[in-house]
Structure 1
Amino acid sequence: MKTTEDAAYCTWMCLICGYVYDEAAGSPEEGIPAGTRWRDIPINWVCPECGARKDEFEMLEI
C-alpha cells in the first residue's frame, strides 16, 4: 500500500496569472526545495509572479 509520501508529485497552477508550482521541482529561487509538497508550503506563501495567496491555486489534472 502506498503512503501519501509515496504518491506522485502534483502540479498546482495560480488561477490569477497561470504560474505553475511543481512539487517535484519545488521553487528554489523562492527558498522552496525540490520535493516540497503543496501542503508543506507555509500558508502565508504567495505566488512569486502576482502575489496571489495559496487558496488561489488549483491542482492540475494529470
Structure 2
Amino acid sequence: MADAFKRYRCMNCSHIYDEAEGDPDSGLEPGTRWEDVPDDWICPECGSEKRDYTLIDWE
C-alpha cells in the first residue's frame, strides 16, 4: 500500500505544498513527493526556498 500524500507549509507566507496536487505551474506533476521536489524549487507565492517549508501532515 502506498504512503499517504503529505502537505508542507511555507513558514513565511503559509502557502501549502500538497504532494497530491504538486505544483504544475512549476513543472511538478500531481503526486510529486516532497523528497522529489528539487532543492532549488521556490514558493510560488513568496519566493522562499524549499528549506523554509515544514511538514504539517504526519503519521
- Determine if the TM-score, normalized by the shorter chain, exceeds 0.5: yes
Which one has the bigger helix percentage? 1
Superposition pairs of residues 19-58 of structure 1, within 5 angstroms: 19-58=15-54
Identity %: 40
**Residues in 1 aligned to 2:30 and 2:55: alpha-carbon distance in whole angstroms:** 17
Give, in angstroms, the shift of residue 29 of structure 1.
Answer: 1.4
TM-score, reference length from structure 2 = 0.90
* Contiguous gaps of at least 5 residues in structure 1: none
Report the RMSD for the aligned CA atoms in angstroms.
1.2
TM-score, reference length from structure 1 = 0.86
Q: When the two structures are aligned, how many residues end up with a matched partner?
A: 58
